A and B are shown apart, each in its own frame.
Chain A
Amino acid sequence: MTGNLLDGKIVVPGDVFSAADENFKLVNKIKLGPGLTTNQAQKIIVCKSGTLRYKSPDTLWVDCHQQRYIPSKGENVIGVITSRQGDFYKVDIGASDQAVLNCMSFEGASKRNRPNVSNGDVVFGQLIVANKDVEPELSCIDPSSGKANGMGILSGDGILFTISLNLGRKLLSPDCVLLPELGSHVSFEIIIGLNGKVALFCKSAQQSVCIMNLIKATEYMSNTDIMKALNKQFF
């Protein structure tokens, strides 16, 4: 398979490549991820600028440095409760619409035993409905196990800050050395939402600010640069 040739290619909106391209000889159907669309002539059109990614056997998408979050089903996000409407809470997840969160979507919640949630609380959940035409819906129950699995209201002394979506994905990537390396020097707890919101829990405020600045600084760093920055910080 020569689709690998396309991996890592830098693309800008308007770039066109055809599924009949020699790179796709072996694949009949291709799955298109974010940043790619098709036209009537069955050509693949790039609509975002960034790096083209290919995953065997048939998935293609564009990695893009985007700030604004666009909800996608199944993604884990962090949000802030803004208001309550009957059985539902409105949650700001940084998208164009606020997400809704049913008060039954917490582990152990029932009609009689409602969770104790107030405005301004930070919640970590999974998007179970994400469609451009309706508002997104959050849930704090893992559909596979029916348990919270770490999701729910986040409490404790931590800070919430926003990073670019690309940096969030980069930190979560198993290839990124920052968090494992950082963890070998200081102890902290971090939750990264795919909407670019990060909740960080440390022993002291100084540590929190220090780690936050370090994370924000790694946006345009490669793994070797990250190691250099860490060595400067700790040795």
Chain B
Amino acid sequence: MDLNSSLPLGNLQCEQKVLKNTDGSAMYTAGETNVLVGVYGPADCKESKQDVKQAVVEVNFRPKIGIPGVAEKYMEKFVCKICESVILRSFHPRTAFSVIVQVMQDQGSLLSCAINAVSMALQDAGISMRCMPVAVTVALQKKEKEDNEMKDDSKKFVISPSTKDEEESVAIATFVFDSAQYDSISAYACGPMTSDEYRECLRLAKEASKHIVRFFRDSVSRKVSTDIR
């Protein structure tokens, strides 16, 4: 089996506090994909939307060009559910958290890049969270043999695939883990996959997510390194 587990996650870059008026913001780059996220909250909220027991979370997903369509709405919902599960919402009843995700450049693995960007922005805003969500996308590629016979060694797993890799793949899966226990929070998969292949994707994603958490931790250390002791 040809595993690209040694494949680097591409170049990871993150800049926090990029927007002035937001409570927290992050510009996150993974490979060639670039996402800008702004977070407001815990902020005042319309009475009709308020929840007396916990805060509400709204996510706004903006594509690079044009108006948001069905795909964007789906990602919005996906990111929203993740935020709801990690934010300690009962700490701030009757308030709202507003997350705006702006796609700057999409060269593959957009969903995982967006989730990681949201994670960094929430963390920059100092919002109380149970853990940080970390997302990794894995693509499964299969080479067709001349005799049309599938063999085990024709499989290839690509971690954080580019647009080209995604086009060549038969199935794509995005996994979201929590940064503490590396338990799965959420998953999104499309395309045909056997359960063994799915498990292999999950394993590879879990490995890769550890690198990303390390990267998160490094960026936090850099940010707070000047605090007065």
Contacts and interface: CB of A to CB of B under 8 A. Distances in A.
A223 B228 contact: yes
B226 A12 contact: no
A23 interface: no
Nearest to B181: A14
B227 A13 contact: no
B42 interface: yes
A52 B32 CA distance: 35
A48 B88 CA distance: 11
Nearest to A36: B128
A104 B129 CA distance: 39
A10 B71 CA distance: 38
Interface string B187-229: 0000000000000000000000000010011001101101111
- What interface size band does chain A fall in? 35 or more
Consensus secondary structure, chain A interface: loop
Interface stretch (A58-66, A107-115, A140-148, A150-158): A58-66
B110 interface: no
Contacts of B180: 14-16
B27 interface: no
B130 A47 contact: yes
A129 interface: no
Given A14-B179, A222-B226, A67 B220 contact: no
A68 B228 contact: no
A220 interface: yes
Interface stretch (B5-13, B119-127, B162-170): B119-127
Nearest to A225: B226
B108 interface: no
Given A132-B93, A222-B226, A47 B128 contact: yes
Nearest to B41: A68
B95 interface: yes
Interface string B121-145: 0011111111110000000000000
Contact of B224 (A51, A68, A175, A221): A51
A10 B129 contact: no
Interface string A1-16: 0000000101011111
B31 interface: no
Given A37-B128, A68-B125, A132 B217 contact: no
A10 B123 contact: no
A167 to B, nearest CB: 11
A50 B227 CA distance: 9
Interface string A64-89: 11111010000000000000000000
Given A12-B217, A14-B131, A173-B228, A65 B95 contact: no
14 contacts: A10-B220, A10-B221, A12-B179, A14-B132, A16-B180, A37-B88, A37-B128, A48-B127, A51-B224, A63-B227, A66-B125, A173-B228, A176-B228, A221-B226
Interface of A: 8, 10, 12-16, 35, 37, 45, 47-51, 63-68, 70, 96-97, 132-133, 166, 170, 173, 175-176, 220-223, 225
Interface of B: 17, 22-24, 40-45, 86, 88, 91-95, 123-132, 178-180, 213, 216-217, 220-221, 223-224, 226-229
